[in-house]
Chain A
Amino acid sequence: MIKFKLNGSVVETDAPSTVRLLDLLREEFELIGSKEGCGEGECGACSVLVDNLVQNSCLIPIGALEGTDVQTIEGYSKTPQYQVLNECYATAGGVQCGFCTPGMIIATEALLSKNPHPSEEEIREGISGNLCRCTGYNMIVDAIQLAAKKGDGLW
């Protein structure tokens, strides 16, 4: 039995400890916001926050989660920070096919919570673990810059 916090509530699971967090989220908890783009830790589409750090949920065996605090896009979307990101991604045009987007939002949160006013270079580095094939990244970078400004004080 593994016990951890998921989007604010304590949850338990009987699943074997080798099960990937991504599968647990998608299968057992029916949280579809974390996507599988590669399953090998290369694309970031499955990004979640574990104790406020961005992690690829496809690489995490759930055995490693005991006592941690996991937040997925479903939980994060209830926060005021999310509202700012949602707006800024819209204004900047950071979303095309949307498959990378939830992961990108999570990576943005992880970046801004560590560094509320990142430079362009820091932003590019901060999201470099998240691939996007549609946007060429620039509008995502703009969105994050905008969020840092608009959401001043939130992070």
Chain B
Amino acid sequence: MITKDISQSVVKKDHVDKVAGQLPYISDVKMEDMLYGVLYRSPIAYGKVLSIEYPILPEGYHVIGAEHIPGGNFVKILIPDQPIFANEWVNYIGEPIFMLVGKELEVLYQLLDEAQVKFEEHEATYTLDDAIEKMTDVMATHEFGESLQTIEEIGKKAYQIIEEEYETGYQEHVYLEPQGMLGIYQEDEIQVQGSMQCLYYIKNALISALACDDDEVRVIQSPTGGGFGGKEDFPSMMACHVAIAAQVVKKPVMLLFDRSEDLVVTTKRHPSKIKYKTALDRDGNILSMSTEVFLDGGANTGLSPVVLQRALLNSAGVYKIPHYHAKGYVLKTNTVPNGAFRGFGAPQSFAGLESHMGHIARIAGKDPLEYKRQYLVKQGEPTITNGRFRDPIFMEDMIEDLLKTLNYKKKKEEFARFNQQSPRFKKGIGTSLFLHGCGFTGSGERDHIKATVKLLKTKDDQVLVKISNSDMGQGIFTTLSKIVAQELGVPYEEISFPYPDTKDVPDSGPTVASRTTMIVGKLLERAARRLKEKWQSGVEQEIVEDYVHEEMIPWDEKTFSGDAYPAYSWGVNIVEVEVDSFTGNVQLEKIHASFDIGKAIDERIVKGQIDGGMAQGLAYGFMEKMTSKQGRIQQRSITDYGPPTAMDIVHIESKLYDNPYAGGPYGAKGVGELTLIGGAPAVQSAIEDALAVPFYQIPITPEIIIESLEKREGEAVD
């Protein structure tokens, strides 16, 4: 089908195979002679490994440990602090020490029990609060903005200073397909297949671990059952495990996690603590604000420094705050390492800031939304790093339209009346305003990623998309093919986009940071345009297109100044809830969401991202709770953790605003992460509206609600 408007939806490329269930995810793959791997994991949170005694192995069973690693014993991410097999020190419960490999899983699990590892236990840091108290293990820190001295001066003249502390918990991805990776030995190469977002991250980790040449490893993406960031950094470690094992035993080795293992040992969203100090004048206007962000990095650095960057860059939200200062830290704890998760630090910041703004609004005696609107940034104004918001900003229109559709004022009155008459059930409405910087921070695309894409036209005039990005359900097989098809003027069905294989595709960068459509899509658009110009029927042709950096205000990573992002996507969420004040149960009633994502490449796919991202974001605010006790994750099953079912969610009335961005294909900007960010703060604001009680943390579970209500009653009696 050739569509006139690219936003017009088409049937997804992989739809039929997925519905029929015949697409082989990694757990569906069987190979002759294939062995399974299981990992011996640290039972303690922090300590020195004194001795490792392997079990006596039956024939055909093998131990793979640190001694088998040809290269460095670390997973290459940012810094080499994450061992592939922790044979000297262990830093968290669940850290892999060695792997057993063999035919029968049952036998392998039994053998695991027979292994003897002795440790010298050391005193561990279990919680973010402990780490903040000690401040000894800082994995990363950044600071920028107005000098603290100036802020102090302003504070002296202020009418009042509001200080708040806000906490956010873990969030677990619960991609429906647990992690899985298969290593295949071949004479001249080691091949790794599996569920993944970032083929070249894995490839680079393998080259480092195997100390081999570029052409001796090969990474192929399998159909991937959801990622959400959970398959960004973590799979590199599993890939190292299976690749090393395959190389030793010279057979295919499969490592599959069951759900409880996946829940307990894989990366999660960083728990955070955020401190706000805001000076107000007599009328409640903001004079200055300083923010301090603490992220729980877990036991090793992983991607945490970059997550902190995004948390800080988003810490002033969509507002122009006079005299703003931000500082942040990633602190080490002896808990499972935290990593990438849709939003990448931004959801914590927005939850905290929207909460804080709502609270100051109430102190100022104003409706939170009205109050927040006064501070909305406008086109042309500086960002908190002295970059520029150079493109049109539609937030005012988006808010205004929503207020009209909703009849907001009347609704608020209705709710107030309802709440007066209803002692048990309380209704509330809450809003969140947010943005998301698209692509890598600063000059990351130019300096680190350097994306390249390729289009191949065969002799039969078949066009193939050759890039290293993963379709993990977000639909890039379809959207990116549409971009190429539209440029070429051919039906989109004629474009082929096979699962990527590093032997065959250039490094177009990882599938992260809401960059795929905007950055990679743009490169493909340009490649397709060139292919069209040069098109010669019946001849094989290849077009390669490299990333070109659009110079803005240059980004300086040391001082945190300049344009942090080339473009921003924007959102407004309004959520209505009913809270049962006897049980603390929160029921979502109505959800409205407006987004400016530039231009939708496929409206239905974008709406799917909105629905799915918002469900995750809303649940992050009041349902999904993961905790760690003495370094041990407490939730071992999906129900323990509590992601939403169909009964928890309601229809989402979403609306898109066209605001084409010149740097994106057909004007498109990033979508995936944006959709998650507004859920939690909107839900919190709605619960606060219903109960007239402030909250200082998410998730706001029924227990927290009951506790807060009891506390308020206690205070009323006092």
Taking Cβ atoms with an 8 Å cutoff, the residues of A that contact B are 26, 32-40, 42-43, 45, 73-74, 77, 85-86, 89-90, 93, 95-102, 105, 120, 123-125, 127-141
Contacts and interface: CB of A to CB of B under 8 A. Distances in A.
A33 to B, nearest CB: 3
B21 A139 contact: no
Q: Which 7 A-B pairs have the closest CB atoms?
A: A33-B21, A97-B473, A98-B18, A99-B225, A136-B615, A102-B21, A136-B611
B370 interface: no
B177 A136 contact: no
A74 B646 contact: no
Nearest to B641: A42
A141 B646 contact: yes
B662 interface: no
B646 A35 contact: no
A82 to B, nearest CB: 8
Contact of B12 (A95, A131, A137): A95
B229 to A, nearest CB: 12
Pick the most buried of A100, A129, A131, A138: most chain B CB atoms within 10 A of its CB: A138
Given A32-B28, A74-B21, A85-B19, A137 B637 contact: no
Most buried by B among A36, A86, A89, A137: A137
Contacts of B19: 77, 85-86, 89-90, 95, 98, 101-102, 105
B607 to A, nearest CB: 7
A136 B649 contact: yes
A138 B21 contact: no
B20 A134 contact: no
B647 interface: yes
Contacts of A128: 645-647
Interface in B17-68: 17-25, 27-28
B15 A90 contact: yes
Interface string B58-93: 000000000000000000000000000000000000
Contacts of B637: 38, 40, 42
Given A131-B638, A137-B615, A139-B607, A96 B21 contact: no
Contacts of B401: none
Contacts of B174: 131, 133
B24 A32 contact: yes
A133 B646 contact: no
B499 interface: no
B641 to A, nearest CB: 10
B177 A137 contact: no
Contacts of A101: 18-19, 21
Which label, helix, strand, loop or mixed, suits the secondary structure of the B interface?
loop
B259 to A, nearest CB: 4
A133 B643 contact: yes
Contacts of B22: 32-33, 74
B608 interface: yes
Given A96-B474, A138-B652, A73 B20 contact: yes
B473 A35 contact: no
B437 interface: no
A137 B473 contact: no
B107 interface: no
A35 B28 CA distance: 8
B20 A33 contact: yes
Contacts of B608: 93, 96, 134-135, 139
Contacts of B224: 97
Given A93-B605, A100-B176, A131 B649 contact: no
Contact of B177 (A40, A86, A99, A125): A99
Given A77-B20, A136-B614, A136-B644, 4 more contacts: A36-B27, A98-B473, A99-B175, A133-B226
Contacts of A39: 258-259
30 contacts: A32-B24, A33-B21, A33-B22, A35-B21, A35-B27, A35-B176, A36-B258, A39-B258, A45-B176, A74-B20, A77-B21, A89-B15, A93-B9, A97-B175, A97-B224, A97-B225, A98-B225, A99-B226, A100-B176, A124-B649, A125-B647, A132-B176, A133-B174, A133-B226, A133-B228, A134-B176, A134-B226, A135-B611, A136-B611, A139-B611
B638 A38 contact: yes
Nearest to A98: B18
B428 interface: no
* Residue among B24, B638, B644, B646 with the highest chain A CB neighbour number at 10 A: B646
B475 interface: yes
A98 B22 CA distance: 10
B638 A95 contact: no
A153 B259 CA distance: 40
A96 B607 CA distance: 11
A101 B177 CA distance: 12
B341 to A, nearest CB: 12
Contacts of A73: 20-21
B646 A127 contact: yes
Nearest to B679: A136
A95 B645 contact: no
A96 B616 CA distance: 15
A40 B639 CA distance: 10
Contact of B651 (A43, A99, A100, A138): A138
B176 A131 contact: yes
B177 A97 contact: yes
A131 B651 contact: no
A65 B328 CA distance: 58
Contacts of B176: 35, 37, 43, 45, 97, 99-100, 131-134
A40 B605 contact: no
Contact of B612 (A32, A77, A96, A99): A96
A90 to B, nearest CB: 5
Contacts of A127: 646
A135 B18 contact: no
B223 interface: yes
B337 interface: no
Nearest to A42: B638
Interface string B622-657: 000000000000000111000111110101100000
A153 B251 CA distance: 53
Contacts of A135: 608, 611-612, 615
Contacts of A132: 176, 646
Interface centre among A36, A38, A141 (most CB of B within 10 A): A38
B612 A133 contact: yes
B466 to A, nearest CB: 22
A86 to B, nearest CB: 5
